[in-house]
Structure 1
Amino acid sequence: MALAKILWVDDEIESLQSQKLFLENKGYDVQTLTNGFDAIDFIKENFIDVVLIDESMPGITGLETLAKIKEINAQIPVVLITKNETENLMDEAIGSQISDYLIKPVNPNQVWLSLKKIIDNKRLVAERTTTAYQQQFRNLFMALNSNPDYNEWMGIYKELIYWELSLQKSDSPEMQEVFQTQKNEANTEFFKFISRNYTDWLKAKSDNRPTMSHTLIRDKVMPTLEKGVPTFFVLIDNLRFDQWRAIQPLFAENFRIVEEDTFYSILPTATHYARNAIFAGMLPIDIEKRFPQQWKNDDEEGGKNQSEEEFFRAQLKSMGESNLRVSYTKVLNNQAGLDLVNNMHNLLSNDLNVIVYNFVDMLSHARTEMEVLKELAGDEVSYRSITTSWFEHSPLNQALKRIADKNIKIVLATDHGSVRVKTPAKVIGDKQTTTNLRYKHGRNLNYDPKEVLAFRDPKEGGLPSPTVNSSYIFAGEDTFLCYPNNYNHYVNYYRNTFQHGGISLEEMIVPVVQMVSK
């Protein structure tokens, strides 16, 4: 491992030779200079891991040197060494982004510990994380192979996300590869689990099935309502659990998280089906029967999610809750987001406010269409990063901050997640077959039954029949469905893009989080 390079700047450096020797014996490469001007020139020309600066030097002070160093490279850690313990000096130093400060006379071990903390901290954390995951690997493996039920699957997925986010910080490609293999195995088993159990859940009573899209409002939103305390049901479209975990610290600044839970999106894990099911409180087959004019199948013209508010009000009425004061706001673009910010205080007089925010879905669709976004969101790490950056600067974040000091409740959820697809599978169908990459429906579909979950009778999956003899198929794991014509072009175009509609942990097990004002 390369020696860490230290620059020590002190006008009395001659008296610190024993300290320099001590650090060199500990494995550091220590350069010394006697004034700030030379230090600034040195840093312009050389790579340095940490700078130690004496505060009181003739010519240019330590704090002035520090400011110039940060102009050259804001990332260089600087330790200020001073005789002066006055509070305003400390405040100024900390405000200038020092990494540590030491009071003279300094003890060699003190300096060593400071350097160790700065340089080795990241490596030590990474090593501890890697070791902990190695110990946990077997437990996860055993959990996957012990026939987990729907609750245990939610626990397994949460644990996988915990390790994915932890290992992201450990600079260990080998360990990340091991983790990815384990996550792929989990998705293989999860696909089998859903294939065996999904249709039974649709018939089961509530205690024998998980909370799903069509029971989300009944199970998770209505129980939070409390007289005199407005509840905001915020649905961010297409938000995976790992993306929630990435933006969770931003929520935690203003709200107390009471419960972080997950639920199962229905199939297809696509906005048209899953979100309509959430607001109607019904499976798609029942929505089509109850609202034949409003339900549109995939191949019909027009927007597929334009009746959500009507569905929602009908669901409230069926629960005997039609007297509630309710608002419904859908944000499809930035202007609508800014309008929401300005209207937040008016919503405080309602019992329940629904806010549907579409940004993440636009991002993931654009991901396949725009080369810029292909660069920006090329893998899970960057997808999480771009989501965090979006939310931090979004009108939604501003809107929620506006009411953070009021006595409110928030239920945050999504309609479905997405998965990065890597493995193509051929499907042959007639002209009426839908174009979705993770699910298809049509007549005379020809496919490898090992690669998909098929509902030959759509009723089995709680789905309408767009035409006589229609069947639905759903891709599992990281598969995407392609037609044989122009096959290689589409395979190359869509591989490594984020898609939804099928069966994976990332698409089906999604967040529902309760928060209250701090």
Structure 2
Amino acid sequence: MSLAKILWVDDEIESLQSQKIFLQNKGYDVQTLTNGFDAIDFVKENAVDVVLLDETMPGITGLETLSKIKEVNAQIPVVLITKNETENLMDEAIGSQISDYLIKPVNPNQVWLSLKKIIDNRRLVAEKTTTAYQQQFRNLFMALNSNPDHNEWMGIYKELVHWELSLQRSDSPEMQEVFQAQKSEANTEFFKFISRNYASWLKPGVKDKPVLSHTLVREKVMPHIEKGVPTFFVLIDNLRFDQWRTIMPIFLESFRLVEEDTFYSILPTATHYARNAIFSGLMPIDIEKKYPQQWKNDDEEGGKNLFEEEFLRSQLKTLGEGNLRVSYTKVLNNQAGLDLLNNVHNLLGNDLNVIVYNFVDMLSHARTEMEVLKELAGDEVSYRSITKSWFEHSPLHQALKKIADKNIKIVLATDHGSVKVKTPVKVIGDKQTTTNLRYKHGRNLNYDPKEVLAFRDPKEIGLPSPNINSSYIFGGEDVFLCYPNNYNHYVNYYKNTFQHGGVSLEEMIVPVVQMVSK
């Protein structure tokens, strides 16, 4: 391993020789210079791991040198060493992105600890994370094999997301491989769990069941409504729990987290079914009965999510909340996002403001269709990274920040998640069979029952029958459902894309989060 290179800039560097020798004995390559101009030239020509920078030097001050070094390379960590503890100097230094500051006179151990914190921090965190996961691995394994109930599954999935995000920073391919195997095993067990229990949750009178899409508004939004305090129910389409965790720090700059929870998306975990269920408070079979004109099955022409506002207002009446002042905003493109940003202050007079934001869904569909996005979101890490980058610069973030100083509440949720598909499974069907990759319904489906979750009677799981004798099948884990004709082309085209509609932790266990103004 090459020695970490330190540049120490101080006009009295001669008096610091013993400190230089101390650091060299600790394994650092220490270069010394006596003024800021030489330091700026040095970092232009040489790779440097950390700059130790005296604040008061003749010619050009430490702060001026600092800003020039950051112009050359914004990533170089700089430790400012100063005699001056005045607050405005500290503010300016921190604003200029120093990594640490030390007050003169400094002793060798102080300098060494500062370097260790900066240079070794990543390695030390990675080693600690890897060790901690190794210790937790067995507990997770035991939890998976102890027949968890729906609450315990939510806990297991949260734990898996925690380790996935922690190990992402650890740079240990071996441990990441072990983790992926454990996550895959978790999805295998979860698929069995849903196969055994899902239908029973939908029977009338059953008490022991999770919050599902059609009970989300009643159980997770309405309890927070308070006269005089506007509640914003923000539904970001297709947002997985790991993606929420990735954008959470951005929210927490402006808002305080009250509760981070999860709920179960209904099957199929697809926008048409899950989101209509959220807004109507009904399962799809009951939406079709109550709104025969508005409900469209997969194989019917016309928009599938055009009546959400009508469904929502009807649900609020049913819940005895028909007098609330309610707004409904749907953002399908950037212009609609900018309109929201310009109009957000006008929403503060309402009791409930629903904002449906479609970006993540567009991304996951586009990722299937467009080669550029296949490159950009080729794996879980880059998919999370794109989500974070989008949210940070989105009109949605700007709009919420604009009203963060007002007394408001936010309930953030989604309709379903998505899963990266890798394993093709053959399904044969007639012309009426739907084209979805994670679920299908049709009259004459031919499939291997060991490879999918099948319901011959859609009523059993609260779904309408588009045709007589229609049955539904769902892919589990990382399966995608393919027709035998043109099979290889189809498989190559869709393999390693993010899809939804089926049974996986990522698609079904999704975030619902409550925040308030700081």
Smaller-chain TM-score range? over 0.9
- Following TM superposition, by how much is the alpha carbon of 1:239 offset from its aligned partner in structure 2, in angstroms? 0.8
Q: Structure 1, residues 202-236: CA drift from partner, whole Å, max 9, x if none?
A: 10535211110111111112222222322222111
Residue of structure 1 in register with 2:370 after alignment? 370
CA drift at 1:40: 2.5
Which residues of 2 match residues 322-337 of structure 1 at below 5 A?
Answer: 322-337=322-337
Q: CA deviation at 1:424?
A: 1.2
TM-score of the aligned structures, taking structure 1 as reference length: 0.96
Is the 2:433–2:442 contact (alpha carbons within 8 Å) kept by the matching residues of 1? yes
1:2 aligns with 2:6: no
Q: Which residue of 2 aligns with 1:231?
A: 231
Deviations along 1:427-458, one digit per CA (max 9) or x if unpaired, are: 11111111111011112211121111001111
Give the Cα separation in 2 of the matches to 1:428 and 1:219: 40
What residue number does 2:184 align with?
A: 184
- Write the distance in 1 (CA, Å) between the matches of 2:72 and 2:396: 36
For residues 247-326 of structure 1, what are the structure 2 equivalents within 5 Å?
A: 247-326=247-326
Please give the alpha-carbon distance, in whole angstroms, between the structure 1 residues aligned to 2:387 and 2:58: 48
Q: How does 1:68-467 map to 2 (within 5 A)?
A: 68-205=68-205, 207-467=207-467
Deviation at 1:380, TM superposition (A): 1.4
User: Shift in Å at residue 184 of structure 1?
Assistant: 0.7
Comparing 91-100 with 300-309, greater Cα deviation is found at 91-100
Residue 501 of structure 2 aligns with an amino acid whose one-letter code is G
**1:330 CA drift (Å):** 1.3
Tell me, in whole angstroms, the C-alpha distance in 2 between the residues paired with 1:510 and 1:325: 28
Alpha-carbon displacement from aligned partner over 1:222-266 (angstroms, at most 9, x marks no partner): 222222322222111111111111111222222222211111000
Q: 1:206 to 1:410 in 2, by over 3 A?
A: farther
Distance 2:291 2:358 in 1: 24
Question: Residues of 2 paired with 1:349 and 1:7: CA distance?
Answer: 57
Q: Distance in 2 between matches of 1:376 and 1:41?
A: 36
* Structure 2 counterpart SS, 1:436: coil
SS of residue paired to 1:203: coil
The residue aligned with 2:52 is 52
Determine the C-alpha separation between the residues in 2 that align with 1:412 and 1:244: 9
Unpaired segments ≥5 residues, structure 2: none
Distance (Å, rounded) in 1 between the aligned partners of 2:156 and 2:43 = 48
**Structure 2: distance between partners of 1:54 and 1:230:** 51
Q: CA deviation at 1:474?
A: 0.3
Note if 1:64 corresponds to 2:55.
no
With over 3 angstroms needed to count, the CA separation of the structure-2 counterparts of 1:413 and 1:82, relative to structure 1, is closer
TM-score by length of 2: 0.96
Q: Distance in 1 between matches of 2:336 and 2:93?
A: 43
| Deviating more after overlay: 308-317 vs 413-422 | 308-317
Amino acid paired to 1:379: D
Structure 1 residue 351: deviation in Å? 2.3
Distance 1:409 1:100, change over 3 A: closer
Please list the CA deviations of residues 387-417 of structure 1 after superposition, one character each: whole Å capped at 9, or x if unmatched.
1221122222222223323332222111101
Partner SS for 2:515: strand
3-state DSSP of counterpart to 1:207:
coil
Cα distance change, pair 72–483 in 1 and its aligned pair in 2 (3 A): same
The amino acid across from 1:13 in the alignment is I
Deviation at 1:182, TM superposition (A): 0.8
Aligned partners of 1:426, 1:517: CA distance in 2, in Å? 50
Shift of 1:50: 0.9
Distance 1:158 1:56, change over 3 A: same
Structure 1 CA distance for aligned equivalents of residues 399 and 56 of structure 2: 47
How much does 1:150 deviate?
A: 0.2
Shift of 1:86: 4.2
Measured against aligned partners, the alpha-carbon deviations of 1:140-177 in whole angstroms (never above 9, x if no partner) come to: 11100000000000011111111111111112111111
Aligned to 1:496: 496
Give unmatched runs, 5+ long, in structure 1. none
Does the C-alpha gap of structure 1 residues 408 and 56 become closer, same or farther in structure 2, counting only changes over 3 Å? Answer: closer
Aligned residues: 518
Contact 2:279 2:309 (C-alpha < 8 Å) held by counterparts: yes
> Which amino acid in structure 1 is aligned with residue 346 of structure 2?
N
Shift of 1:87: 4.1
Letter in 2 for 1:273: Y
- Using the alignment, how far apart are the partners of 1:132 and 1:278 within structure 2? 38
2:200 and 2:206 in contact (8 A); partners too: no
Distance 1:389 1:161 in 2: 19
Task: Write the distance in 2 (CA, Å) between the matches of 1:318 and 1:206.
Answer: 21
1:463 is displaced (CA, Å) by 1.0
Alignment partners' CA distance in 2, 1:304 and 1:99: 52
> C-alpha offsets along residues 289-318 of structure 1, whole Å, 9 cap, x if unaligned?
121111111111110011112222222222
The SS at the match of 1:174 is helix
Does the C-alpha gap of structure 1 residues 329 and 456 become closer, same or farther in structure 2, counting only changes over 3 Å? same
Q: Tell me, in whole angstroms, the C-alpha distance in 1 between the residues paired with 2:92 and 2:337.
A: 39
Secondary structure of the 1:373 match is helix
> Which residue is 1:23 aligned to?
23
What amino acid is aligned across from residue 197 of structure 1 in structure 2? N
**Residue 472 of structure 1: how far off its partner (Å):** 0.8
AA partner of residue 441 (structure 2): H
1:435-492 alpha-carbon deviations (Å, 9 max, x no partner): 1110111122111211110011111221111112211110000111111222222222
Pairwise CA RMSD: 1.7
Summarize the Cα distance change of 1:74–1:267 in structure 2 as closer, same or farther, 3 Å threshold: same
Identity %: 87
Q: Write the letter of the residue equivalent to 1:364.
A: S
Aligned equivalents of 2:170 and 2:341: distance in 1?
A: 38
Judging changes above 3 Å, is the alpha-carbon distance between structure 1 residues 497 and 93 closer, same or farther for their aligned structure 2 residues? same
1:303-354 superposed Cα distances (whole Å, 9 cap, x missing partner): 0011112222222222233222222221111222222223223322222222
The 2-side partners of 1:193 and 1:489 are apart by 33
Q: Deviations over 1:54-107 (max 9, x none)?
A: 333344433333222211111111122334444444333333222222233321
C-alpha distance in 2 between matches for 1:453 and 1:397: 39
Q: Deviations over 1:261-292 (max 9, x none)?
A: 11100000000011111111111111111211
